[in-house]
Amino acid sequence: MSPGKHNELQAAVVEQFAPRFAPDSHLIYLGDTMNKDLFVEVDYLSKLGIPITQHDKMPDVVLHQPKNNWLFLIEAVTAHGPMSPKRIFELEEMLASCKAGKVYVTAFPDFSEYRKWIKEVAWETEVWISEVPDHLIHYNGDKFFGPR
């Protein structure tokens, strides 16, 4: 991965978030600030019904947990926005053929960055802050962690 705060956060998602909150998941997409499609499991995405021609619209990190058939769609926020209602709508349209349960997550490096975006985070999503990796912030809802 190219150097920078954004890619450091993405690495933290893979190394710290995934084992804690998406155990036994498979990394199927990882973008990069310089190389947009740094890691892409084309066949895996295709089997899940995820269009492989729209990488520019993919979240920064995508994990699939086969046990629950959950798709973790993770935005790493250091400069661009979180999982907002608009972003979720775009992803729902793009992933209409995907039958996996979708878990929307916004990752922030620290509370300072989180505070900048707090008003834009969509309800029914999760927030993970890498400086406190053992915890999630659950944005309301009738249930805790999991797809809608």
Summarised one tens digit per residue, pLDDT across range 124-142 is 999 999 999 999 999 876 6
pLDDT of residue 36: 60
In a domain, 144, yes or no: no
Which residue positions in the chain have pLDDT lower than 50? none
pLDDT of residue 119: 96
Residue from 18, 20, 90 nearest 28 by CA: 18
Residue 60 near residue 79 (C-beta atoms within 8 A): no
Residue from 14, 42, 16 nearest 26 by CA: 14
In a domain, 146, yes or no: no
Report the number of distinct structural domains present in the chain.
1
List of residues 6+ apart from 33 with CB closer than 8 A = 2, 4, 6, 7
**Structure pTM?**
0.89
Q: Is 14 helix (H, G, I), strand (E, B) or coil?
A: helix
CATH at residue 67: 3.40.1350.80
Read off the DSSP letter of residue 115. H
pLDDT of residue 143: 63
Instruction: For residues 60 and 40, give the distance between their C-alpha atoms in angstroms, rounded to a whole number.
Output: 11
Instruction: For residues 13 and 79, give the distance between their C-alpha atoms in angstroms, rounded to a whole number.
Output: 16
In a domain, 145, yes or no: no
pLDDT of residue 37: 56
